[in-house]
Amino acid sequence: ESIILTINKYDIHKTDRIIPKLESIQLIISKQSKELENALSSSLITADSVVKARNLINTSPSIATPEFIANIADKIARENKLSIEIYNKQAIIKNKMFGILAVSSGSINEPRVVVLKYNKKQAKKTIALVGKGITFDSGGLSLKNSVGMETMKIDMTGAAVVIYTINAIAKLNLNVNVIGIAMLTENMPGHNAYKPGDIISTMSGKTIEVLNTDAEGRIVLADGLHLAKKYSPDYIIDIATLTGAAMVALGSECAAILGNDQELINSLIESGKTTYERLWQLPMFDEYADYIKSDFADMKNVVSNSGSFGGTITASKFLQNFIDDKKWAHLDIAPVDWNETDKDYRGRGGTAFGIRLLTHFLSNIS
């Protein structure tokens, strides 16, 4: 994995590009080992999915639109003989996914919801993976500054991780059922954009008072999490570049994990240690739910009292409203989704953090 990921660079637009050519790798071992053969095969498959996800994450946002990424998911489904549903705007409206519809309303590029299904008849566990896929995040009418927008093509990392994790586990033939849901839209300040002060409904019927259109990821995930429950999963895991507060809390060395099931959280943390995609748990005390209570709707999408802080936790409490009694973990990967400089096998640009972690976790379940 390290060797393959180290030589991968996203420099396809450079005119003086030098393509590194890996001639061979020699491993010196004491005896032939089936375990080693399996590990090598698994590593090649996993690393290939990470490289492809990184390339997608680094693709220009004017190219990597919701439709473009949905077409990639469709190609992966055909390659691996998986079933797939792709909801276009009309299907999104029909299914009352008014959260993602509101976020997409300022963009000329229509939203897509992708449901990618990997099924094994003999599998005992079903896992739903839900990925935030904001293909470009301008902040909407709550506009980001120019520096804040520089890397916002990577706000779809969660969706890319979900799609390419399923690509990996299908090629690994794991004995587990996985439903991958990618919520794909732009967040733009167009003439029809949703506004601070709007009250919007969601697929669950619960209502949201919008105070900041740049807190759009949780609104999109509200529909995705509710959709995931339709498949009666044993666990729901969402992965999202959700909050700047996670970056303040954790720097750039690990992602935040929160949820309602400690056994699930512990398993993901252990897989993170093994793959060096590390997670750090933050609390989910009941009192934090009070921070997002609204006088006009079921909840508000941000804390209006700036002195309250705890943005990563309050965003997670927001998401918990759409979980019901399902066992759930939320991965906020905002601290680790982008490298400004080369870091050994983690090159400059999008990291695709989460594919190796989730593949390891699903392998353990398998």
Say whether 218 is catalytic. Answer: yes
Indicate left, alpha or beta for 224 from its phi (over 0: left) and psi (-120 to 50: alpha).
alpha
Burial class (CB in 10 A: 0-12, 13-18, 19+), 303: buried
User: In angstroms, rounded to a whole number, what is the distance separating the alpha carbons of residues 107 and 185?
Assistant: 8
User: 113 near 183, Cβ under 8 Å?
Assistant: yes
Q: Residues 144, 171, 206, 327: which is the catalytic one?
A: 144
User: 355 near 46, Cβ under 8 Å?
Assistant: yes
User: 327 near 236, Cβ under 8 Å?
Assistant: yes
Say whether 144 is catalytic. Answer: yes
Beta-sheet strand order (sheet of 255-259): 83-87, 112-118, 177-187, 126-137, 235-240, 327-332, 255-259, 279-281
Q: Residues 112, 132, 218, 229: which is the catalytic one?
A: 218
User: In angstroms, rounded to a whole number, what is the distance separating the alpha carbons of residues 149 and 89?
Assistant: 26
User: In angstroms, rounded to a whole number, what is the distance separating the alpha carbons of residues 324 and 327?
Assistant: 9
Residues that are catalytic? 144, 218
